[in-house]
Structure 1
Amino acid sequence: MNLLDGTARSYAWGSRTALAELRGVPAPTRHPEAEMWFGAHPGDPAHLVTPRGRVSLLEAIDSDPTGLLGTGVVERYGPRLPFLVKFLAAEEPLSLQAHPSSDQAREGFRRENAAGVPLDASVRNYKDASHKPELVVALTEFDALAGFRSPAETVELFGRLDADELRPYTEMLAAQPDSSGLRTLFTSWITLPQRALDSVLPAVLDACVRALERAEQTGDRTFVPELRTALELGEYYPGDAGVLAALLLNRVTLQPGEALYLDAGNLHAYLRGTAVEIMANSDNVLRGGLTPKHVDVPELLRVLDFEPLDSPVLVADTSRPHVVRYPTPAPEFALVGVELSAASGDGEPWTLAHDGDAAPRIVLCVDGRVQVSSGETTLVVERGGAVWIAASDPDPQLCALTDTARVFVAGVGGI
């Protein structure tokens, strides 16, 4: 068991304060911090804090995969950590994106390799052969676009906009209010020639302004977040077809502790907020707009799931006191939130036991200070910090060193 130093990733949409304040370091930072990775992804592995100094978690796993990952994990996933967990802080909207299924990822990875596309090429879609289901749990209020909205609700939204330029698209979806209709409409918008887009998009945004003015007069808040998001995206990304596409998606605001699970093919974009995110250990992203990065529309259309996502917010399991489980169908990862208290001088310990075969865990502290004890090793994890627990480590005990503390435990499915 070792303390684990995460690796910061700087993207333009990140925050200069959120992750710094979470870790208790000076803010604002010189560059925006978008993500803090705690894992063994080759792109930016975290580092174990050992008596010999900092050691790459990726290199440590390579040197002893069975000891660190466990026999069951190695047999199922090979000598690699199957999940990546991170802190995420969005000050501005992320790109509109989706992730491939396992079959799509394997096929796309082989295809791009055969075509000789370098792994680090800006036009590369598939960096590996893995799918990338992901779960995000809000630490602050967290805004997102997640999955296609019910066509009937979208037709209602378009009716409230009452824009002549939108009318043929409204009629298109109203005539086929299902996944096929969504596919037709989305494809029409994402492939619009720029000249046509430059006519339609400003008219739609003007209609959003008028609809918001009517909402202010009537007090009817229906679709107000959707309208404001469209205008915000229009300011960030003028002339981008992704602004139109955003009008087709569920607009969600998570409260702290609430979560979204996004499986293969779900179109989404995180808008603002701080969260814990866990995913399969992959970097495969297909973008649909709201970004200066590579957008491959034909490939995106190949992987998108146009079935409406009626309830994008995940229903958490709160059946155990002080423990919140976030169940997903993804076998590569699992995430559990735990509230700890220090009612007595030594705190109230909580044992982190395996439900099945021994597997690695990563504990992230998001509030307070936590003591983690495994065998003869005892570590103190500060807010914003993490600890790595290898499969071969004895089941650890956690207790709060402050009045209260909160941790997230990341592991392989079945922890």
Structure 2
Amino acid sequence: MTTAMERKLFRLEGKVQHYAWGGYTYIPALLGIPAGNTPSAEYWMGAHQSAPSQVITPGGTITLDKLIQERPQEVLGEAVWQRFGQLPYLFKILDVKDMLSIQVHPSKTEAEKGFARENEAGIPLNAPDRNYKDANHKPEIMVALSDFWLLHGFLPHDALQQVLKTVPEFATLTSIYEQEGYKGLYKAVMEMPQEQVNTLLRPLAERVLPAYQANQLDKSDPAFWAGRAIANDPEGMNRLDRGIFSIYFFNIMNVQPGEAVFQDAGIPHAYLEGQNVELMANSDNVLRGGLTPKHIDVPELLKHTRFEGVHPVIIQGSAVQDGLEQLYHSPAPDFAASKIELQKGQVYKSTSNAAAILIVMKGTATITGSDTLALHKGQCALVTNGEHYQISTDNEVVIFKAGPGQF
């Protein structure tokens, strides 16, 4: 890579992340690799330092972060490089078999402060009690690939009041909410001694667990997810997870394939089940709030949570390129997600004015520009700044595309 980049179109290979909540078959089937005994939870495509993608160039294979470091303007374009100083997004495919931890992401300003503070304290980046892995915020958009379930933000006021009045175990919490609002209620359950959590939640657990195990509960009912959390927890009834409160306090969303949800800084959320495409700012900062054995820093979590009722919004794609592409709008400048669907004879044309990553989710595609790439299901391409390219197929193809948001 010592001469000017003549090629602007490359094969890219992401990295599988083997988190405990992932499934065993979906991502291996997508990538055409054998399923193993380890869960495959996420497939990362991007330049995050903890798992950068590999770019196949004529001169050999190079990690995407290193390629950007060597050729920032040529890969990203001057405007993106000046604004972000890096590839501003991280692109993922997720297979959620078991519930993820309840989490909140910090704002950009707070992430910078927290990252600097933990660095100064000498906390290693891979320490289990580390909150900030980088100095970036982490707004994110997800597009469902299957019937998908998630928790998203606090219930609106009337709905939360109804929950507190109708779930008998929460009767003692009603006055806290009425006097101190969302923050007082959440602070109370997050700071509650574990013995008191057990005392409050054990009658609920004894009620919902048999119903869950007998398949008597609907997924729209928080009791279903509370039952699953208890059934899957190695601690069982001995140490009930305080994240169960949040299952009842948050919106339960059901999203259909092709529908999207945006989650900004401060919105508490958790993925519950299904597969999705996820696109976020280039960050791995997570402040956890339950449904996890991992580190929970309650003061830091409370500092960054938005204590307000949320009316969930499902985003539908907007048709562009004569209907060949569905664009999912979000307020984040860091990223934009879209879905390209082509039948034989249809041609998608574009000029990359930044750096885009594409993954084939179904069928086969030929991408033609400064090189020609023949891609099948699970394969990816990197299109760098200034590339004029077109996509065609011999049969049909579905591609998800990621790029910066407003460039």
Query: Same fold per TM (> 0.5)?
Result: yes
Deviations 1:269-316 (A, max 9, x none): 111111111110011110111111111000000000011110242343
Q: Aligned-residue CA RMSD in angstroms?
A: 2.1
The separation in 2 between residues aligned to 1:322 and 1:389, in whole angstroms, is 18
TM-score by length of 2: 0.91
| C-alpha contact 2:190 2:298 (8 A) present in aligned 1 | yes
Q: 2:22 corresponds to which letter in structure 1? A: G
Paired residues of 2:335 and 2:402 also in contact (CA < 8 A): yes
The one-letter code of the counterpart of 2:112 is R
What do the CA deviations read for 1:77-103 (whole angstroms, capped 9, x no partner)? 11x211110111111111111100011
CA contact (8 A) 1:278 1:333 kept: yes
Q: Specify which of 344, 351, 375 is matched with residue 381 of structure 1.
A: 375
1:372-414 CA distance string (max 9 Å, x none):
1113x1101211111001114x221011232x21111100012
Q: 2-side partners of 1:37 and 1:211: how far apart?
A: 37
Does 2:364 correspond to 1:369? yes
Q: Check the 8 A contact 2:360/2:375 in 1, yes or no.
A: yes
Q: Secondary structure at the match of 2:351?
A: coil
Tell me if the contact between 1:160 and 1:211 (Cα under 8 Å) persists in the aligned partners: no
* Matches of 2:137 and 2:280, distance apart in 1: 9
Give runs of aligned pairs for residues 34-45 of structure 1, distance below 5 A.
Answer: 34-45=41-52
Deviation at residue 322 of structure 1 after TM alignment: 3.3
Check if 1:398 corresponds to 2:400: no
Match of 2:5 in 1: none
One-letter code aligned to 1:2: F
Query: In the alignment, is the contact (CA less than 8 A) between 1:190 and 1:245 conserved in 2?
Result: no
Query: Is the Cα–Cα contact under 8 Å of residues 24 and 40 in structure 2 kept in the other structure?
Result: yes
Answering whether residue 130 of structure 2 is matched by residue 129 of structure 1, we say no
What is the correspondence of 1:15-414 to structure 2 with a 5 Å cutoff?
Answer: 15-26=23-34, 28-78=35-85, 80-161=86-167, 163=168, 165-173=169-177, 175=178, 181-208=181-208, 224-237=220-233, 238=236, 239-318=240-319, 321-342=323-344, 347-354=345-352, 358-375=353-370, 377-392=371-386, 394-402=387-395, 404-414=396-406
List gaps (5 residues or longer) in structure 1: none
Amino acid at match of 1:30: N
Q: Which amino acid aligns with 1:400?
A: T
Q: Is the 8 Å Cα contact of residues 364 and 408 (structure 1) preserved in structure 2? A: yes
- Give the whole-Å Cα distance in 2 for the aligned partners of 1:209 and 1:64: 56
Q: For 2:268 and 2:298, locate their aligned partners in 1 and report how far apart those are by CA, in whole Å.
A: 13
Rounded to whole Å, the distance in 1 between the matches of 2:84 and 2:379 is 27
Aligned to 1:159, the other structure's residue is in SS state helix
* Alpha-carbon spacing, 1:198–1:136, altered in 2? closer, same or farther (3 Å): same
Q: Distance in 2 between matches of 1:211 and 1:90?
A: 23
Shift of 1:235: 2.1
- Opposite residue 200 of structure 1, the aligned amino acid is L
Instruction: Please give the per-residue CA displacement for 1:168-216, whole angstroms capped at 9, x wherever unaligned.
Output: 213433x35xxx5111111111111111111111122345469989x97
User: Secondary structure, in 3 states, of the residue corresponding to 1:396?
Assistant: strand
Structure 2 distance, partners of 1:68, 1:55, is: 13
Distance between the aligned counterparts of 2:210 and 2:227, measured in 1? 11
1:312 & 1:267 partners in 2: Cα distance? 15
Structure 2 unmatched ranges of 5 or more:
1-8
Tell me, yes or no, if the aligned pair for 1:350 and 1:397 is still in contact at 8 Å: yes
CA contact (8 A) 1:146 1:312 kept: no
2:70 and 2:19 map into 1 onto residues whose CA distance is: 32
Q: 1:7: which partner in 2?
A: 15
User: In structure 2, the residue corresponding to 1:406 is in which secondary structure?
Assistant: strand
TM-score relative to the length of structure 1 = 0.89
Q: Contact 1:189/1:245 (CA < 8 Å) preserved in 2?
A: no
Kindly indicate whether the alpha-carbon contact (under 8 Å) linking 1:142 and 1:253 is maintained by their aligned counterparts in 2.
yes
Cα separation, partners in 2 of 1:257 and 1:224, compared to 1, 3 Å: closer
Deviation at 1:160, TM superposition (A): 3.5
Tell me if structure 2 keeps the 8 A contact 1:147–1:312: no
Alpha-carbon spacing, 1:348–1:24, altered in 2? closer, same or farther (3 Å): same
Post-superposition shift, 1:45?
0.5
Kindly state the Cα deviation for residue 318 of structure 1 after the two structures are TM-superposed: 3.6
Amino acid at match of 1:260: V
Secondary structure of 1:260 counterpart: strand
Aligned residue identity for 1:398: I
Aligned length: 392
Identity within the alignment, %: 36
Cα distance in structure 1, aligned partners of 2:230 and 2:157: 22
Deviation track 1:215-257 (CA, whole Å, cap 9, x = no partner) reads 97xxx97x84322111111223341111112211111111111
TM-superposed CA distance for 1:59, in Å, is 1.3
Residue identity matched to 1:340: L
Q: Which amino acid aligns with 1:202?
A: R
